[in-house]
Amino acid sequence: MKLWIKENLNELLIVTLIFSIGFLLGLFGLEKANFKVFDEAYFITQAQNYLKKEEFFDGHPPLAKLFFALLLKISGWPERENYFLPRILFLIFSSFLGVLGFILIKEVSNNLNWATIVGILLNTETSLLFFRKFLLLEIVWINFSLLCLIFLFKNKKLLFFIFWALAISVKWFSIIFVILFFIYFLKNFEIKEVIFGLILIILIYYLFFEIHFGFFIKEHGFKFLTLSFKKILEENLKMFFSHSVPTEFCSPLASFVLGWPFGIRNINATFEIFPNILVWIFSFLYILKVVFETFKKKIVFPNEIYLFTAGYLFYFFNLILIESLRPGYLYYYFGALIFGIFILSYFTQKKPYLLILFILFSLIILPKVSDAEIFGVEKSIFELLLKYMNYGEILFRNLGIILGFGWF
């Protein structure tokens, strides 16, 4: 053990630094939010429903809400309702986002500099930071998805299937985040391993719904299994149609998918979902660079760059399909953003000033996502950023109308 620590001391120090940065940034302003922030209005309420044994329907699988219910229970709910402690516990979990990104890139490339930049950017980007601070779904499914990719690259097939099942049991977005990589590595799987793995995913997914309905169905034994099976089928069909049937409804918080690579637009809440637009835009520009250079055949990139670029393009294409049916929100883009940050970090190795610029910009935006002021000069910067958001929103909404996206 001592020998392993000695051999990996540099990496352990970097991982500790990445986690600490993520945790400390997440703490900032957290004590002010003595109320439900943004979609916590749904998810904390639903977690409370488990504690009260009051049945509910949500448009997503139940694992994250079960996790949140556990955090509430540990924190003394419902007898003593406080928001700070469950968020601190969640922040410990969510601060591993950068650590998992570091581990994944280190595994696929053995490049310590690239992995370090990925970890830092994932734990400092401001819109991801918002979702790391509060009890929301996005970081839960992303963390589980990154874990399953780590085990896929390590060829740990059982753990890959288990963590993919956990990710899907939080949000179906994990399917389009992971499936291209699964198809790419299918050559490493035997047919019986694939069949076993897919059955395992279905069973784990089904198990969490059984646990979900176990809080509400009073019957026991075979009667419980029969009734819960019926409810699971009904609920999943309802979830599927709620996400796939075209709608004319337009939420005021929705924005057009083609504007998301440019960070358009922020979502206004008490603690604002405000992206680090430099990270978002540069990520997109470097994705385009890889695509154009690939077609020109003048530069050859490492294989993992092509793989992550394909992951980005596949995920983003599916977002376009989703938004052709129904309104979408900026945070839908997070899966693509993760791949974009992987690509951006690769090129940032040779331009370290970019990393400094990205971190400084995150610090400037930090008050916006933390409902606080630090420097006093950020108000004028925010005014410029809001003009960028507003004009960009007008541009891309009109583009959506021209392209025939019906929900506009």
The model's pLDDT over 41-66, given as tens digits with 9 standing for 90+, comes to 999 999 999 999 998 888 899 999 99
Q: Report if residue 344 sits inside a domain.
A: yes
DSSP letter assigned to residue 29: T
Cis peptide before 80, with omega less than 30 degrees from 0? no
- 5 in a structural domain: no
The mean pLDDT of the chain is 90
Residue 303 structural domain = 257-402
Provide mean pLDDT across the span 82-110: 95
pLDDT at 376 over 70: no
Q: Picking from 151-155, 199-203, 215-219, 269-273, which range would have the lowest pLDDT averaged per residue? A: 269-273
Tell me how far apart the alpha carbons of residues 332 and 329 are, in angstroms, rounded to a whole number.
6
- pLDDT score of 371: 66
Model confidence over 216-275: pLDDT tens digits? 888 888 888 899 889 999 999 988 887 777 766 677 788 889 999 999 988 876 678 889
Counting Cα atoms < 13 Å in the Cβ hemisphere of 186 gives: 10
Residue 51: inside a domain: yes
- Domain assignment present for residue 19? The answer is no
Do residues 298 and 61 touch, judged by C-beta distance below 8 A? no
Is 108 contained in some domain? no
Terminal Cα-to-Cα distance of the chain (whole angstroms): 59
Shared domain check, 270 and 160: no
pLDDT at 402: 86
195 and 57 belong to one structural domain: yes
Let me know if residue 106 belongs to a domain.
no
353: in domain: yes
Task: Give the residue from 30, 22, 55, 58 showing the smallest Cα distance to 359.
Answer: 22
Kindly state whether residue 294 falls inside one of the protein's structural domains. Answer: yes
Residues 239 and 264 both lie in one domain: no
Per-residue pLDDT band for 374 (boundaries 50, 70, 90) equals low
Query: Among residues 244, 274, 297, which one ends one of the domains?
Result: 244
311 in the same domain as 174: no
Residue 113: Cβ-neighbour burial (10 angstroms; 0-12, 13-18, 19+): middle
**Is 301 in the same domain as 234?**
no
Are both 60 and 172 inside the same structural domain?
yes
Q: Are residues 172 and 320 in the same domain?
A: no
Which range, 32-41, 115-124, 289-298, 323-332, is most confident?
115-124
Q: Which residues are registered as beta bridge partners of 342?
A: none
Q: How far is CA 131 from CA 76, 331, 337, 369, in A?
A: 23, 9, 14, 10
**Contact by Cβ (8 Å): 119, 16:** no
- pLDDT at position 163 over 90: yes
Are 344 and 261 within one domain?
yes
- Residue that finishes a domain, picked among 190, 220, 244: 244
Q: 244, 271, 296: which is the final residue of a domain?
A: 244
Select the more confidently predicted residue: 363 or 6.
Answer: 363
How many structural domains compose the chain? 2
Q: Which of 10-19, 28-37, 65-74, 377-386 has the lowest mean pLDDT?
A: 377-386
Same domain, 270 and 368: yes
Q: Is 79 strand, coil or helix?
A: coil
Q: Are residues 268 and 219 in the same domain?
A: no
For residue 328, the cross-strand partners are: 255
Q: Are 165 and 181 in contact (CB under 8 A)?
A: no
